[in-house]
Amino acid sequence: MSSSVITRIGSLVTNDPALGEGPLGLLEDAAVVIDGEHVAWVGPSAAAPAADESYDAAGRAVIPGFVDSHSHLVFAGDRTREFNARMSGQAYTAGGIRTTVAATRAASDDELHANVARYVAEALRQGTTTIETKSGYGLTPHDEARALRIAGDHADEVTFLGAHIVAPEYADDPAGYVDLVTGPMLDACAPYARWVDVFCERGAFDGDQARAILTAGAARGLVPRVHANQLGHGPGVQLAVELDAASADHCTHLTDADVDALAGGRTVATLLPGAEFSTRAVYPDARRLIDAGATVALSTDCNPGSSFTSSMPFCVAVAVRDMRMTPDEAVRAATLGGALALRRDDVGRLAPGARADVVVLDAPSHVHLAYRPGVPLVSAVWRRGVRESI
């Protein structure tokens, strides 16, 4: 195992208040020592111990790699026309998912592998070093298990989302589809996933159906996470908190009781501004959640229908501009928040013992992620202690 030291970091986000100032644990003129896959030391640059290799950050900012805790990367096909139509005035509904289901079922394994690899690499170039991805465009036991096996070859975390929409073959028998998801499909998929997810929304699955699917998954050792309250008010958030889901995702339409539930439980509110951006919808109110005491994560929701971005810096910028988050809160939510939404304590922070996932920004401060929207600021990335060529 070799070691390396990153010196002369102008501003270092550790996400560890014990190491520096404020909730971000900010350090100025800092250094990070990497030993093998992990962070070995963090402190003042002048006091940095020697290492096998040295990298001079020359005053630039360093943050933990982004943790994208919500994406849908196992798909084929293209929905440019749907996006174009929506931007020309048509409303977004969950129905467009069927287009991607047909294309994904028809795709070869090689094609799906290539697609996932492409989007994971795209995310890495933008600073994402941990990524979750889901099934959900197969909707048969065979196609869902195939999607999860392919996802597991590329992503850090894999989620079974057989309950994305009711499969087209079951359009007239949604109860039959829930039986399929909680029976043969779960049998085929449970070995390949850590998480079980449901799109709990009008037009997809109601509260009772979502409860049946999440509890069946939990009985097989999968931990729940829920697509909740994206398109309107509904039972998703309350159900997520009740079942101690790791995350309630979207959280766009919340009652006061929903906000209180999130603030009182350990379920993370994962906000996905790319979805509102790409559907011209109203953004979730992050300020309301944070002020109530809820834990907030930011994620891309990268998918071909409603949020075709893999860019965490873009999500940070939108969250600051339109969701009333401060730059510090948004960067924390995109790193540590994502780690909490995945119940991981080895990523999302830069402290001794953490995974050495390090992002150097071509900027003096992490604030530039919001201050300079759309500018490719990521200039170097280490993942598991290895410098990536980006």
Is 142 assigned a ligand-binding role in the annotation? no
Burial 301-339 (b: 16+ CB within 10 A, else e): bbbbbbbbbbbbbbbbbbbbebbbbebbbbbbbbbbbbb
Is 303 assigned a ligand-binding role in the annotation? yes
Nearer to Zn ion, 68 or 301 (CB): 301
Q: Binding segment for Zn ion among 23-31, 141-149, 301-309, 361-369 (CB under 5 A)?
A: 301-309
Report how far residue 371's alpha carbon sits from residue 375's, in angstroms, rounded to the nearest whole number: 10
The pairing of beta strand 296-298 with beta strand 53-56: unpaired
Both tokens assigned to 100: 């991607």
Other CB atoms within a 10 A radius of the CB of residue 12 amount to: 28
Is 90 assigned a ligand-binding role in the annotation? no
Q: Binding segment for Zn ion among 98-106, 122-130, 162-170, 294-302 (CB under 5 A)?
A: 294-302
What does 104-158 look like in DSSP terms, one character per residue? HHHS-HHHHHHHHHHHHHHHHHTTEEEEEEE--S--SHHHHHHHHHHHHTT-SEE
Which residue do the tokens 């003096």 mark? 364
Q: Give the residue ranges of DSSP H helices in 37-126.
A: 80-86, 97-106, 109-125
Is 227 assigned a ligand-binding role in the annotation? yes
142 touches 105 (CB < 8 A): no
CB of 70 to Zn ion, least distance (A): 6
Q: Binding segment for Zn ion among 120-128, 200-208, 293-301, 364-372 (CB under 5 A)?
A: 293-301
CB of 137 to Zn ion, least distance (A): 11
Nearer to Zn ion, 238 or 306 (CB): 306
CB of 370 to Zn ion, least distance (A): 23
Nearer to Zn ion, 129 or 159 (CB): 159
CB of 197 to Zn ion, least distance (A): 8
227 touches 249 (CB < 8 A): yes
Smallest CA-to-CA distance from 31 within 3, 2, 11 is with 11
Is 38 assigned a ligand-binding role in the annotation? no
Nearer to Zn ion, 154 or 355 (CB): 154
Site string for Zn ion, 251-290 (x = CB under 5 A): ----------------------------------------
- Tell me how many residues contact Zn ion (CB under 5 A): 1
Q: Binding segment for Zn ion among 1-9, 48-56, 170-178, 295-303 (CB under 5 A)?
A: 295-303
Is 70 assigned a ligand-binding role in the annotation? yes
Is 92 assigned a ligand-binding role in the annotation? no
Is 79 assigned a ligand-binding role in the annotation? yes
Residue 62 DSSP one-character state: E
Nearer to Zn ion, 40 or 333 (CB): 333
Smallest CA-to-CA distance from 354 within 11, 126, 25, 7 is with 25
Is 349 assigned a ligand-binding role in the annotation? no
Closest residue to bound Zn ion by CB: 301
Which residue do the tokens 């959280």 mark? 251
* Partner residues linked to 205 by β-bridges: 200
Q: Binding segment for Zn ion among 228-236, 276-284, 300-308, 329-337 (CB under 5 A)?
A: 300-308
Looking at residues 191 to 250 of the shown chain, list those that interact with Zn ion (rule: CB under 5 A). Answer: none
Nearer to Zn ion, 82 or 301 (CB): 301
Nearer to Zn ion, 209 or 303 (CB): 303
Q: Give the residue ranges of DSSP H helices in the chain.
A: 80-86, 97-106, 109-125, 141-152, 174-180, 186-189, 207-219, 236-242, 256-264, 273-279, 286-292, 312-322, 327-332, 338-341, 368-371
Both tokens assigned to 32: 């990070």
Nearer to Zn ion, 12 or 196 (CB): 196
Nearer to Zn ion, 132 or 301 (CB): 301
Q: Using CB under 5 A, pick the residue from 144, 301, 329, 357 that binds Zn ion.
A: 301
Residues recorded for the chain: 390
- To the nearest 10°, report the CA torsion of 121, 319, 260, 348: 40
Q: Binding segment for Zn ion among 48-56, 89-97, 104-112, 297-305 (CB under 5 A)?
A: 297-305
Residue ranges of the binding site: 70, 72, 79, 137, 164, 227, 230, 301, 303, 305-306
Interface with Zn ion (CB under 5 A): 301
Residue ranges of the binding site for 4-imidazolone-5-propanoate: 79, 137, 164, 230, 306
Residue ranges of the binding site for Zn(2+): 70, 72, 227, 301
